[in-house]
Amino acid sequence: MSQMQIPFVKEVEEMLETAKNMKPEDLEFKYKGILYPSLLSQPENIDAMESFEAREDDILLGAYPKCGYNWMIQVLNKIAFSAGKLKNPKYIPYLEFTNPEKMKNLSTLPSTRILGTHMNPDNIPVSFFEKKSKILVVLRNPKDTAVSYFHFYNKNPVLPTFESWDKFFSQYMSGDVMWGSYFDHAVAWEKYIDSENVKIVTYEDLKANLTEGVEDIAKYLNYTLSDEQIQTIAEECTFDAMKDKSQETHGSFSKVIFRKGGVGDWKNHFSEEQSKEVDAKFEQCLAGTKLGAKIKYEVHCK
């Protein structure tokens, strides 16, 4: 375990212990219409994001919850480390989890800084777009995202639990879950589909061919890696490989983060009516768009 990882795991363990003594309603707060986890973030954190100064050589990882964020943390760390841009792979701070004091400390970090967020792109610091920092976005099909998010809620002491899948599904579709609506996020990212400083990849494509995905991401970052380095990163970042080391990297929180990591599990949860409801929402929001095509909805959600 890297020295950067040790305080992170300790901090997570303390947070999980605190959550045990909290009422469900105290585990979340709503800010500007969006729910956030109160043990991880506060309104002042989100306010502080607005004035955050990005750098041209920053890398920002953006993803709606349960779309592969923790997976891509590992991939980005290993790519940057192998390219000689990082001395040691390290924990990537979520901007919305960073209090104002820690936000100031980010300005003292040497380049290359790798940062992350679950925020809707409309709420990401504008300096990332002004400075044309590299932004990597990972998307997942909306049905598998819903199932993974449901289990994440109910296994995670930091979040309130749902008494049923049906109750969760209803709130997922209305956007009344942490970080808001999946579809609002996807529609917002569609605006950047042709941007030179935003690369959108999908969970499903990465699962199908991680070696190709690693090579593609490295090229986007303008990093030169050997075929051997690319293959090694791909082998070390499979779901099974990461799950095997998750106790070391994430402590007891590993049981919350790493479940199945597959594609198509939605078929074990969705009723026919629920499936049709998501189909209609996709048709309304993303059908005919470049981002909609990238998700390969007909392949993964039918």
Q: What is the pTM of this model?
A: 0.90
**Domain spans of the chain?**
5-300
User: Where residue 241 falls among pLDDT bands split at 50, 70, 90?
Assistant: low
Q: What is the crossing angle of helices 142-155 and 165-174, to 10°? A: 120
- Whole-number average pLDDT of the chain: 89
Q: How far lies 86's CA from each of 11, 79, 91, 179, 274, in Å? A: 23, 9, 12, 30, 45
The predicted pLDDT at position 1 comes to 35
Distant-in-sequence contacts of 188-193, Cβ < 8 A, 24+ apart? 188/120, 188/121, 188/122, 189/62, 189/121, 189/137, 189/139, 189/291, 190/286, 190/289, 190/290, 190/291, 190/292, 191/121, 192/121, 192/135, 192/137, 193/289, 193/290, 193/291, 193/294
The predicted pLDDT at position 87 comes to 81
Give the span between the Cα atoms of 211 and 202, in whole angstroms.
Answer: 14
Give the span between the Cα atoms of 159 and 31, in whole angstroms.
Answer: 16
Instruction: Give the mean pLDDT of 95-108.
Output: 91
Determine the distance from the C-alpha atom of residue 254 to the mean position of all C-alpha atoms in its chain, rounded to a whole number.
Answer: 15
Q: What is the per-residue pLDDT across 247-294, written as a single tens digit (0 to 9) for each? A: 455 444 445 555 566 789 999 999 999 999 999 999 999 999 999 999
Q: Are 234 and 207 in contact (CB under 8 A)?
A: no
The predicted pLDDT at position 157 comes to 83
Whether residue 48 is predicted with pLDDT greater than 60 in this model: the reply is yes
Token pair 């042709």 is found at: 194
Has 118 been annotated as catalytic?
yes
Token pair 């199908």 is found at: 208
The predicted pLDDT at position 3 comes to 37
User: Where residue 17 falls among pLDDT bands split at 50, 70, 90?
Assistant: confident
Class of domain 5-300: alpha beta
The predicted pLDDT at position 273 comes to 98
Does residue 117 sit in helix, strand or coil? strand
Instruction: Give the mean pLDDT of 209-228.
Output: 97
Enter the tokens of residue 100.
């104002």
Given 118, 185, 269, 300, the catalytic residue:
118
Of the listed ranges 19-23, 81-85, 163-167, the least confidently predicted one is 19-23
